């Protein structure tokens, strides 16, 4: 028997287990998946927890339930990958593999910024990228009297890069509904050159910030948090005061990648952006947030990657050439508050443009334009996630390769 091992049973790992179980001959291949936690979190739901839109139960389920029969599930911490020996060391056992898929994701690293994870962490400095952070923030917001709310991104890349902006929009709606919007000053602080940086999106969407009275501070590269005086300070010595800081800390691959000597400066694994094979080892493949490919770190991207990777794993096993198929396709709903949302669709080459999705002209979802239907789409995504996406059931009409039909492409 040969061994295929999947590291991480999050969005990507779970999808790959479901795809591969029916594709690899059972009498030749044993598939094993390893994760440290019992719980599988629906991370996109963390955006809604702080505003009491979702409850705890909406965002967590037992991970094992989504692993198909025929795949061995091991709940243990992964210590180290030893590529030279084709081995993976777990807490107290060692596994050998013929093919390895790394799907260990990325996580926040607030300790990377001086003063962030200090005595004020989860007191008046919060993240909403973790279950614990989102819940702590919810409890804070329930009783917060108002003041300066600063929504901040530490550095790129972060997963779901629009989530902080969505947070700003939802915060505006939340405080309005509570009748306290006048008591809250919302500032969006980003290291990028704008809340939106691509020309078409900027032109189509900048009005949202103005309409909601959200201030924008750009090109801000944080040096440290002065938690005693409630300020964030950048390398150019610009300081921003806050009463409540909602930051998205540096995102990094798991320490395991560092221990294994396989990552870049942020513990992401150098990976071929079209085949998803790791650059250093031909029998190691990387999917989802764990890789360094220049695609967005998002569940929808992982979904498209999974289709390409499933084919390539089969190609690799049969000794065939790998397909250079992955085009960076991403497809995201963006909450804009007031029960509306946007939908964007883009890849490595093509920036988001206006149009309709998934069908040209008729949609029904409109691209790069606010609508109530898109908001329902975003909420429906939770159902799709638990019931289709991670189970590897393909979503009708949405293909791994991006289509340009029905889009207003001028360049």
Q: Which residues are at the interface with another protein (CB under 8 A)?
A: 155-156, 161-162, 191-193, 196-199, 201, 205, 218-219, 221, 223, 235-236, 250, 264-266, 294, 296, 330, 332, 334, 344, 346, 351-352
- Restricted to residues 264-323, the positions that interact with ligand FAD (CB under 6 A) are 288-290, 297-300, 302
CA of 84: how far to CAs of 87, 168, 173, 282, 392, in Å? 8, 46, 53, 11, 31
Under a CB-based contact definition with an 8 Å cutoff, are residues 46 and 131 in contact? yes
- Spatial CA neighbour of 239 closest among 183, 187, 194, 163: 187
CB of 34 to ligand FAD, least distance (A): 6
Which of the stretches 103-111, 141-149, 199-207, 393-401 binds ligand FAD when contact is defined by CB under 6 A?
Answer: 103-111
Contact between 77 and ligand FAD per CB under 6 A: yes
Contact between 144 and ligand FAD per CB under 6 A: no
Q: Which does 97 bind (CB under 5 to 8 A by kind): another protein, ligand FAD, none?
A: none
Under a CB-based contact definition with an 8 Å cutoff, are residues 124 and 133 in contact? no
Pick the closer one to another protein by CB: 272 or 314: 272
CB of 7 to ligand FAD, least distance (A): 7
What single DSSP character describes residue 321? P
Contact between 115 and ligand FAD per CB under 6 A: no
CB of 311 to another protein, least distance (A): 24
Contact between 187 and ligand FAD per CB under 6 A: no
Q: Which long-range contacts (CB under 8 A, 24 or more apart) does 113-122 make?
A: 113/154, 113/222, 113/224, 113/225, 113/249, 113/250, 114/223, 114/224, 114/225, 115/224, 115/225, 115/226, 115/227, 116/154, 116/225, 116/227, 116/247, 116/249, 117/249, 118/225, 118/227, 119/227, 120/225, 120/227
Q: How buried is residue 297: exposed, middle or buried, by Cβ count under 10 Å (0-12/13-18/19+)?
A: buried
Under a CB-based contact definition with an 8 Å cutoff, are residues 43 and 368 in contact? no
CB of 41 to another protein, least distance (A): 22
C-alpha triplet 249, 254, 258: angle, nearest 5°? 115
- Restricted to residues 42-71, the positions that interact with ligand FAD (CB under 6 A) are 43-44, 46-47
Which of the stretches 11-19, 109-117, 265-273, 337-345 binds ligand FAD when contact is defined by CB under 6 A?
Answer: 11-19
Distance between CA atoms of residues 275 and 123, nearest Å: 44
CA of 377: how far to CAs of 15, 345, 359, 385, 410, in Å? 21, 14, 15, 12, 27
Token couple for 136: 């702590």
Pick the closer one to ligand FAD by CB: 195 or 233: 195
Pick the closer one to ligand FAD by CB: 233 or 365: 365
Would you call the peptide bond into 408 cis, given omega within 30 degrees of 0 as the criterion?
no
Pick the closer one to another protein by CB: 21 or 192: 192
Q: Which does 111 bind (CB under 5 to 8 A by kind): ligand FAD, another protein, none?
A: none
Pick the closer one to another protein by CB: 156 or 239: 156
Residue 390: count other Cβ atoms within 10 Å of its Cβ: 29
Pick the closer one to another protein by CB: 150 or 293: 293
Q: Which residue is nearest to ligand FAD (CB)?
A: 10
Tell me the pairing of strands 215-217 and 106-108.
unpaired
Pick the closer one to ligand FAD by CB: 86 or 104: 104
Pick the closer one to another protein by CB: 45 or 352: 352
Q: Which does 296 bind (CB under 5 to 8 A by kind): ligand FAD, another protein, none?
A: another protein
- Restricted to residues 18-47, the positions that interact with ligand FAD (CB under 6 A) are 34-37, 43-44, 46-47
Provide the binding-site residues for ligand FAD, judged by CB under 6 A.
8-13, 34-37, 43-44, 46-47, 77-78, 103-105, 128-129, 159-160, 163, 254, 256, 288-290, 297-300, 302, 332
């Amino acid at each position: 028997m040969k061994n295929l091992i999947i590291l991480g049973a999050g969005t990507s790992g779970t999808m790959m287990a479901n795809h591969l179980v029916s594709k690899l001959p059972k009498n030749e291949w044993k598939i094993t998946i390893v994760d440290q936690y019992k719980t599988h979190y629906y991370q996109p739901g963390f955006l809604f927890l702080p505003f009491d839109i979702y409850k705890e139960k909406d965002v967590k389920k037992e991970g094992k339930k989504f692993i198909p029969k025929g795949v061995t599930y091991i709940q243990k911490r992964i210590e180290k990958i030893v590529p030279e020996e084709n081995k993976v060391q777990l807490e107290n056992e060692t596994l050998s593999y013929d093919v390895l898929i790394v799907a260990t994701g990325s996580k926040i690293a607030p300790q990377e910024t001086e003063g962030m994870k200090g005595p004020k962490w989860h007191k008046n400095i919060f993240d909403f990228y973790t279950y614990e952070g989102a819940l702590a923030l919810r409890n804070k917001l329930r009783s917060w009297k108002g003041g300066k709310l600063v929504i901040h991104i530490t550095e790129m890349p972060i997963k779901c890069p629009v989530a902080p902006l969505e947070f700003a929009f939802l915060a505006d709606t939340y405080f309005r509904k509570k009748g306290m919007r006048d008591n809250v000053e919302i500032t969006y602080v980003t290291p990028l050159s704008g809340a939106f940086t691509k020309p078409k999106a900027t032109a189509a969407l900048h009005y949202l910030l103005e309409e909601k009275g959200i201030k924008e501070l750009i090109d801000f590269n944080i040096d440290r948090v002065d938690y005693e005086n409630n300020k964030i300070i950048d390398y150019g010595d610009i300081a921003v005061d806050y009463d409540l800081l909602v930051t998205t800390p540096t995102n990094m691959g798991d320490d395991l990648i560092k221990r294994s000597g396989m990552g870049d400066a942020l513990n992401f694994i150098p990976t071929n952006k079209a085949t998803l094979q790791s650059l250093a080892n031909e029998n190691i493949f990387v999917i989802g947030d764990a890789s360094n490919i220049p695609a967005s770190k998002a569940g929808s991207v992982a979904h498209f990657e999974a289709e390409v990777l499933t084919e390539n794993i089969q190609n690799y096993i049969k000794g065939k050439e790998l397909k250079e198929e992955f085009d960076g396709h991403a497809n995201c709903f963006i909450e804009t508050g007031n029960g509306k949302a946007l939908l964007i669709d883009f890849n490595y080459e093509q920036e988001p443009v206006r149009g309709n999705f998934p069908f040209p002209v008729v949609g029904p979802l409109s691209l790069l334009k606010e609508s109530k239907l898109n908001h329902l789409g975003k909420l429906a995504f939770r159902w799709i996630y638990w019931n289709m996406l991670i189970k590897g059931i393909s979503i009708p009409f949405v293909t791994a390769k991006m289509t340009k039909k029905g889009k207003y492409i001028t360049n």
